[in-house]
Chains A and B, each alone.
Chain A
Amino acid sequence: MNYELIGITVLWIFLYGYLIVASIDFGAGFFAYYAKLTKKDHIINQLISRYLSPVWEVTNVFFVFFFVGLVGFFPDMAYYFGQSLLVPGSIAIVLLAIRGSFYAFENYGSKDNHLYMFLYGATGLLIPASLSTALTISEGGFIEETANGVQLLYGKLLTSPYSWSVVFLAVVSVLYISSMFLTYYANRAGDKPALELVRKYALFWSSPTIIASLTTFIALSQQNLEHYQRAIELWWVFGISVGFFLIAVFLIYIGKYYGWAFIAVMFQFLFAFFGYGASHLPYLLRPFVTLSSGVTNETMAISLIIAFIAGLFLLIPSLVLLMRMFLFDADYVKGKK
């Protein structure tokens, strides 16, 4: 395995990590607001804040890690994405900033403010939508390089069926992943009413998720035939993903083994995400940057990989500690600590 492939794999793992942890967070925001609207907030808000409080900052770091790593391993991406994404990128920053800080304000400061809850819920859906734009653009055809620099073609982006199906997929997956996790967490906490509520959410959001996956696939064939064909060659990867989806929904439906159900969800997205990523190659940003053209100098790539391995020795034990204390400590989850 050459170092650029190691580099992109590392980054893809972090983006996948962000996909899971951020989805839980973003979806929770939406559910918290929805529960408030339907006067069911007393049932699940306690649960949500007990999970999210200690981990929200960590969620954010996954994202920072991804884009710093991307610029580090592939500095050319900084040029093309930086030039073209100023406006959507800035909007995403503002949404993330409002969400992150307001979450802390509301949680540690004044509680139960209606506007806070609304912003918290709304940004939970807008952020995945705006971040998914970057993935859409990487398919090619949305930016052009002129004498005045690189420009994003807003008209094309906003009228593309592919771009909208990606946005739709991002939003429903967030709600699906989040409700699946909350179901598991509510069960751990032995909180029956919350469990019933979020279990319903989970079953509800499963069908749009699988439908959106299919429509995105179809839209991809219109947008980028080459990518679509490479994805078809990897059909078995996506097949495994669908298999895990069925397992997850089945377990939730029969109301048993919620932990295994969430693990199945994680595998469902792992396979889908890596299938998507693998078929995306060799292009990182079509047609400007490929895996080998955009990679940083070899010396730097090697030192980044060394730094990454050293960092993992620090991170993995710390993450395990965090999870043991807050995620898998039954007393904490139940609210006794």
Chain B
Amino acid sequence: MFEYDSVVMSRMLTSLTLAFHIIFATIGVGVPVMISIAEFIGIKKKDPHYTLLARRWTRGFTITVAVGVVTGTAIGLQLSLLWPSFMQIAGNVISLPLFLETFAFFFEAIFLGVYLYTWDRFKNPIFHWLLSLPVIIGSTMSAFFITTVNAFMNTPQGFDLEGRVITSIEPLAAMFNPATPTKVFHVISSSYMTSAAILATITAFIILMKKGSKYHKKALKLTVVATFIFSIMTALAGDLSAKFLAEHQPEKLAAGEWHFETEEGADLILFGTINENNEVENAIRIPKALSFLAHGDFNAEVTGLEETPEEERPPLWIHYMFDLMVGIGFFTLGITFLYLVFWKVKKWNEYNPLLLWGIASIGPLSMLAIEFGWIFAEVGRQPWILRGYMKVSEGATTSPHVDWMFVLFIALYTVLAIGCITVLRKMFKNNPAELELESRYPQVAATKEDD
């Protein structure tokens, strides 16, 4: 039967909040970039289609930002509420990036407010565009700082721990720990990619449903090209991350890859199942590919899971998370590449419904990949909260009420999700792009829509 355990409940509540927050945080980091690009093209080409695109994205963005802000506040407080002992120890070392993250957030909040309310206030539109830059800097910097905190939990350094007393702190060494570069690169590139993919999904879907106008076709080109570029960046970042894991967190890579014995020329295992004796079945094996993934050399030695003491091993199911994340990444890269080929080869039609359905699927799939990737990264460092220093069970609160709080937050996130979807639907359903184009730019709308 179910028995109350504050550690398990704290983990569940933290996962719940993060899983929900990540959706909005990802959009919050990536969408400003897309808005800024669209507005810039609109100004440079003097094409109101792009300006309208930027405007409409911005309007939807404010709703997701609101949810991102409040769930971000929630996780910020929950860190101390659910993990008080962890924060007491780690707070000495990670306060600097946490503090800087709020500065970045502050900076973003100020300029987002200014950006939203000054669309028609400047004679020269480039001034308004310039305001989007601090928003991007703020959101990307806050992703950077908060990711360094997570990186620190994976590869802690820059302090000495004697019992519960922390000494010889080097704040910058803690922030720029070995996990920081690859993690930051992967988080930022995948946020950009996922946001572009979501916007591509929306556009592809509209074109499928009601044969979109010129406006939608331009939007599709822009978003798919952006997704393609960002997914190449993400793939590169993922490759570097795997190499980082092989060197600094071999047990995470080994569990993710079901790689038990240390060996040279290790095979890469795709999908499959595992039985009680830890034997892999039904899998596709790519010979020596894991060695290449881990060290860039097909014959390199890859550390196996057996090198890690049994009680310090992460669970083996993270393998599926890893495969799904990578699979979706390559699927997105492939679909967007296909669109580019169809677009460039004159004979082929890039608005082929099958292709459009493919594009329509990449937004939700990429968001799932973000979730899978984070689950892989987080569960992959179990049982540690501070790898090598503190186990998760030592960091949690002892409060007997976490279960009720879990119920409370499920209710909250349900309400927020419903509210967010309802408002976004209402916002765009009653005000299609064609109508808005007509009211804002009558001379453009008057010219023939289809070429």
B113 close to A322 (CB less than 8 A): yes
B437 at the interface (CB under 8 A from A): no
B67 at the interface (CB under 8 A from A): yes
> Which B57-105 residues have C-beta < 8 A from chain A?
59, 62-63, 65-67, 69-74, 76-85, 87-93, 95-96, 98-103, 105
B403 to chain A, nearest CB (A): 11
A75 close to B426 (CB less than 8 A): no
Bound Cα distance A73, B408 (Å): 30
A299 close to B170 (CB less than 8 A): yes
B84 close to A68 (CB less than 8 A): no
A300 in complex: contacting residue of B67, B76, B171, B427, CB < 8 Å = B171
Stretch at the interface among A199-207, A232-240, A264-272, A301-309: A301-309
A83 in complex: contacting residue of B93, B102, B398, B415, CB < 8 Å = B398
Bound Cα distance A69, B87 (Å): 13
Bound Cα distance A148, B398 (Å): 7
Stretch at the interface among B32-40, B183-191, B360-368, B416-424: B416-424
A297 close to B166 (CB less than 8 A): yes
B89 close to A86 (CB less than 8 A): no
B399 in complex: contacting residue of A58, A93, A149, CB < 8 Å = A149
> Which B357-415 residues have C-beta < 8 A from chain A?
397-399, 401-402, 404-405, 408-409, 412, 415
Stretch at the interface among A94-102, A216-224, A246-254: A94-102
B311 to chain A, nearest CB (A): 24
Given contacts A64-B73, A93-B78, A314-B103, contact A87 B409 (CB under 8 A): no
B402 close to A300 (CB less than 8 A): no
Stretch at the interface among A39-47, A104-112, A274-282: A104-112
Q: Which residues of B contact A109 (CB under 8 A)?
A: 63, 422-424, 426-427
Q: Which residues of A contact B95 (CB under 8 A)?
A: 68, 71-73, 75, 296, 300, 304
B346 to chain A, nearest CB (A): 42
A124 to chain B, nearest CB (A): 15
> Which A38-66 residues have C-beta < 8 A from chain B?
53-55, 57-58, 60-61, 63-65
Q: Which residues of B contact A321 (CB under 8 A)?
A: 110, 114
Interface secondary structure of A, over-half rule: helix
A311 close to B91 (CB less than 8 A): no
CB nearest neighbor in A for B109:
A57
Q: Which residues of B contact A303 (CB under 8 A)?
A: 96, 171-172
Q: Which residues of A contact B101 (CB under 8 A)?
A: 68
B76 close to A68 (CB less than 8 A): yes
Given contacts A54-B113, A83-B84, A93-B77, contact A101 B92 (CB under 8 A): no
A297 close to B114 (CB less than 8 A): no
B25 to chain A, nearest CB (A): 14
Q: Which residues of A contact B166 (CB under 8 A)?
A: 297
Given contacts A72-B99, A94-B412, A318-B107, contact A67 B91 (CB under 8 A): no
Q: Which residues of B contact A71 (CB under 8 A)?
A: 79-80, 87, 91, 95, 98
B419 in complex: contacting residue of A64, A105, A300, A314, CB < 8 Å = A105
Q: Which residues of B contact A78 (CB under 8 A)?
A: 79-80, 84, 87-88, 91
Bound Cα distance A91, B405 (Å): 9
B12 at the interface (CB under 8 A from A): no
A61 close to B102 (CB less than 8 A): yes
B116 at the interface (CB under 8 A from A): yes
B343 at the interface (CB under 8 A from A): no
A53 in complex: contacting residue of B105, B117, B171, CB < 8 Å = B117
A103 at the interface (CB under 8 A from B): yes
B70 close to A101 (CB less than 8 A): yes
B412 in complex: contacting residue of A57, A98, A105, A150, CB < 8 Å = A98
Bound Cα distance A303, B98 (Å): 12
Given contacts A93-B78, A108-B59, contact A322 B110 (CB under 8 A): yes
B81 close to A57 (CB less than 8 A): no
B84 to chain A, nearest CB (A): 3
Q: Which residues of B contact A159 (CB under 8 A)?
A: none
Q: Which residues of A contact B399 (CB under 8 A)?
A: 83, 86-87, 149
B135 to chain A, nearest CB (A): 11
A76 to chain B, nearest CB (A): 6
A60 close to B109 (CB less than 8 A): yes
Bound Cα distance A89, B399 (Å): 13
Q: Which residues of A contact B46 (CB under 8 A)?
A: none
B121 at the interface (CB under 8 A from A): yes
A54 close to B117 (CB less than 8 A): yes
The digit string for B7-51, where 1 denotes a CB below 8 A from any CB of A, is 000000000000000000000000000000000000000000000
Sample (28) of A-B pairs whose CB atoms are under 8 Å apart? A61-B106, A69-B99, A71-B80, A72-B96, A75-B89, A75-B90, A76-B88, A82-B82, A82-B397, A86-B402, A87-B401, A87-B405, A98-B415, A101-B67, A104-B65, A105-B63, A105-B419, A105-B423, A108-B423, A109-B423, A150-B84, A296-B92, A307-B100, A314-B107, A318-B107, A318-B111, A325-B114, A325-B117
Closest 5 CB pairs of A and B: A72-B95, A75-B91, A82-B84, A104-B66, A149-B398
Besides A64-B73, A75-B91, A299-B169, 9 new A-B residue pairs in contact (Cβ under 8 A), listed by A number: A54-B114, A60-B70, A68-B99, A72-B99, A75-B95, A86-B405, A296-B95, A304-B99, A315-B110
| Residues of B that sit less than 8 Å from A by CB | 59, 62-63, 65-67, 69-74, 76-85, 87-93, 95-96, 98-103, 105-107, 109-114, 116-118, 120-121, 134, 166-167, 169-172, 397-399, 401-402, 404-405, 408-409, 412, 415-416, 419-420, 422-424, 426-427
